[in-house]
Structure 1
Amino acid sequence: MCFPSTFLFTCLLYLVDSSHFRGGIISWKPAENNQIEINYRVAFRASFGHTCDENTIRNGTLLSGEGSLQCVEGCSDTITTMSYYCTDFSATEDWTSGTNSVKYNLSASSNNLYTFGFSSCCWISLVEGGSDWMMRTTANLTVRQDTGKINSSPISAMQPVVRFSYGCDYTLKIPVSDDDGDVVKCRWSTQTPNDECGGVCETLSGSYLDERSCVLSYNATRFTGWYAVALQIEDFQKSTDTAPFSSVSLQFLIFVGNSSSSCESRPVLPQNIITNGSIHHSSVYKIFNESIIARSGEATLRVTAIETVSPIGMIKSELFPYGTSGREWFVTVTWKPTKSQLGTHLFCYTAVDNLGQTSDQTCATLVVDEEVADTPEPDNLIVLNSDCNAFKTPEKVHTKCIEVTTGVPQSFYLATSCSSNFVQCNELGTGYIMRCVPGTEWCQHVLTCVHAGTCNTEG
Structure 2
Amino acid sequence: MMALLKMSCIFVLILLNCLAWIVHGSHFLGGTITWRLLNQSATGTPVAVVITQTYSWSYSLITCTNAMISSNQLIPTSSYPLLLTATLNCIANCTSGAIGYVAPNIRPRCTNISPSLGITVGQRSDTVSIEAGSDFSVAYQDTAWRPLASSASAAWSVSSRIQLTIRPDNSLYNNAPTASLMSPINIPYNQSTAIYIPVADADGDITRCRWSTSLNGVNECGGVCPPGSLPANTMIYPNCTIIIIDQTIGDWFAITLMVEDFINSSSIDPLSSVPVQFLVQVVSPPGCTIAPEIIGIPLEQACIPLSVGQTFNSELMAVNNCGLSVTIVDIATLSFSGMIQGNIAQLNTTIYYKTLSWIPTTAQIGFQVMCAMALDSQNAQSAQYCFKFYVSETSACACPGETCITTTTT
Q: TM-score, normalised on structure 1?
A: 0.72
Q: Distance in 2 between matches of 1:320 and 1:229?
A: 33
Give CA-to-partner distance per residue, 1:91-144, whole Å, 9 cap, x none: 1222211111112221368xx552311112211123534512211111322100
Q: Does 1:120 align with 2:142?
A: yes
Q: Tell me if structure 2 keeps the 8 A contact 1:315–1:334.
A: yes
Range 287-296 or range 159-168, more displaced: 159-168
- 2:161 corresponds to which of 138, 158, 163: 138
Looking at structure 2, the residues matched to 127 and 58 of structure 1 have their Cα atoms a distance apart, in angstroms, of 37
- Whether contact under 8 Å (1:68, 1:82) holds in the other structure is yes
Distance in 2 between the 1:135 and 1:121 partners? 11
Aligned length: 358
Conserved? CA contact 2:32–2:276, under 8 Å: yes
Correspondence for 2:170 among 129, 137, 147: 147
Any idea what the Cα deviations from partners look like across 1:196-253, whole Å, max 9, x if unmatched?
Answer: 1011112222244343221111124244221111010111122222111111111011
Q: How far off is 1:301 after superposition?
A: 2.1
Distance 1:105 1:256, change over 3 A: same
What's the counterpart of residue 42 of structure 2?
A: none
1:310 to 2:335 alignment: yes
What are the within-5 Å matches in structure 2 for residues 279-290 of structure 1? 279-290=303-314
Higher RCO (Cα < 8 Å, 6 or more apart):
2
Q: Paired residue for 2:67?
A: 55
Relative to structure 1, the CA distance from residue 97 to residue 127 in structure 2 (aligned partners, 3 Å threshold; closer, same or farther) is farther
Would the aligned equivalents of 1:64 and 1:84 in 2 still touch at CA under 8 Å? no
Give the alignment of 1:174-189 within 5 angstroms: 174-189=197-212
Listed as ranges, the matches of 1:426-437 within 5 Å are: none
- The answer for the alignment partner of 2:32 in structure 1 is 25
3-state DSSP class of the match of 2:353? strand
Structure having the higher Rg: 1
Aligned equivalents of 1:160, 1:418: Cα separation in 2: 43
Identity %: 27
Equivalent position SS for 1:294: strand
2:92 to 73, 76, 84: 73
Contact 1:18 1:120 in 2 (8 A): no
Please tell me the residue identity of whatever aligns with 1:75.
Answer: C
1:5-24 matched pairs, under 5 angstroms? 17-24=24-31
**Is the 2:258–2:273 Cα contact (8 Å) retained in structure 1?**
yes
Question: Partner amino acid for 2:30?
Answer: G
Picking from 277, 280, 296, the partner of 1:254 is: 280
Q: 1:275 corresponds to which residue?
A: 299
Q: Is the 8 A contact 2:209 2:258 kept in 1?
A: yes
Conserved? CA contact 1:36–1:105, under 8 Å: yes
Please give the per-residue CA displacement for 1:246-298, whole angstroms capped at 9, x wherever unaligned: 11111011122223425x4211223x221222011222222211111111231
Paired position in structure 2 for 1:170: 193
Partner of 1:327: 350
Distance change (3 Å), C-alpha of 1:115 and 1:354: same
Tell me, yes or no, if the aligned pair for 1:267 and 1:359 is still in contact at 8 Å. Answer: yes
Q: 1:35 is matched with which residue: 25, 48, 63? A: 48
Structure 1 unmatched ranges of 5 or more: 1-15, 373-383, 388-416, 420-452, 454-459
The one-letter code matched in structure 1 to 2:63 is T
| Cα-Cα RMSD | 2.5
Q: Secondary structure at the match of 2:88?
A: strand
Q: Deviations over 1:345-386 (max 9, x none)?
A: 0011111111211111111111223256xxxxxxxxxxx967
Q: CA deviation at 1:28?
A: 0.8
Contact 1:18 1:122 in 2 (8 A): yes
Read off the aligned partner of 1:61 and give its amino acid letter: Q
SS in 1 for 2:69: helix
Alpha-carbon separation, structure 2, partners of 1:311 and 1:108: 29
The whole-number CA distance in structure 2 between the counterparts of 1:244 and 1:386 is 26
Over 3 Å counting, the alpha-carbon distance change for 1:125 and 1:235 in structure 2 is: same
Matches within 5 A, 1:151-300: 151-193=174-216, 194-202=218-226, 203-261=229-287, 264-270=289-295, 272-299=296-323, 300=325
1:63 shift after superposition: 2.8
Between the aligned partners of 2:117 and 2:165, the Cα distance in structure 1 is: 42
Kept in 2, the 8 Å contact 1:123–1:133? The answer is: yes
Structure 1 CA distance for aligned equivalents of residues 186 and 268 of structure 2: 33
Alignment-mate amino acid for residue 250 of structure 2: T
Q: Does 1:84 align with 2:97?
A: no
Relative to structure 1, the CA distance from residue 179 to residue 18 in structure 2 (aligned partners, 3 Å threshold; closer, same or farther) is farther
